[in-house]
Amino acid sequence: MSDTPTRPLNGWLVVDKPINLTSARVVARLKRLCPGSKVGHCGTLDPLATGVLPVAFGEATKTVSYAMAGLKRYRFQVRWGEARDTDDAEGRVIETNARRPDAAAIEAALAAFQGLIQQVPPDYSAIKVRGRRAYELARQSRPVTLAPREVRVDRFALMAAESDTADFEVTCGKGTYVRALARDLARALETVGHVAALRRTAVGPFDEKDAISLDNQGVLVHSAALAERLLPVEAALADIPALALTIAEAERLHHGQAIATASSGDGIVCARTGKRLVALAEVNRGLVRPVRVFNL
């Protein structure tokens, strides 16, 4: 039974999501510990994937989009010779191929999958088609035609290669599907393949070294213990410059009023007074206007 926290929960908890559990179920479990608290997660992981799932509480939910915009890092294994309808081990086999690429061939093919590339998302994805999720249509065997889109892959490295499998590490931007990378790499190597195992090791500033297992009974049994492990709201905003305010300026901004600044640069800033995060604000031509106000 959860206790009632003495103060609202505001901040981030980095969860190490286990296999065969949806991201939504992780959030639901944490919500039960903190009834009445707003809780959201950053970047859905498939049930068969493990790893970093940042969960936002209270005022931190206002920063989710900024955390999701950061780079993500994955380790994953591709199994050659079987294409599956979901592009991972959960799906049914739809094609086989006896060809097995060696390490040299794999290394040579990776260059084409780095930088800004065009990628067609998997049929089993959450992208909407005619108002329906693509995976809903795919499960009903209805035709799914998804348009290619530009995604960013900063690093795609081969870590190990066996006869039937290869292990990779990839650092990529928002909207990149690892399952699609595996599918397309296999095609480029004149075979087929699917993701056999997948672990996310980082989302923006959140790293697996900070992640807490759902089996950690010292943290995930009541809200007071959980509160002690929360990272601050601004943990998701590490790459956004700070703007120092006076107490009077902070009050005006907090109430939705624009204030003048001598700052020469334009763009999004973290407006602060002392250690208090007041707002995400936009600086434009010497004026600071609030974008997201925090009640901290």
Instruction: Using DSSP bridges, classify how beta strands 242-244 and 267-273 pair: parallel, antiparallel or unpaired.
Output: parallel
Q: What value, to the nearest 5°, has the Cα angle with vertex 228 and ends 227 and 234?
A: 75
d(CA 290, CA 278) in angstroms, rounded, equals 9
Q: How far, in Å, are 18, 20, 75, 103, 180 from residue 125 at the CA level?
A: 20, 17, 20, 30, 10
- CA angle centred on 207, ends 202 and 208, rounded to 5°: 95
Q: Which position has the token pair 């002392």?
A: 274
Tell me the two tokens of residue 247: 């107490």
Catalytic (active-site) positions: 46
Nearest to 178 by CA among 22, 46, 280, 23: 46
Measured N-to-C along each axis, helices 103-110 and 178-188 cross at an angle, to the nearest 10 degrees, of: 120
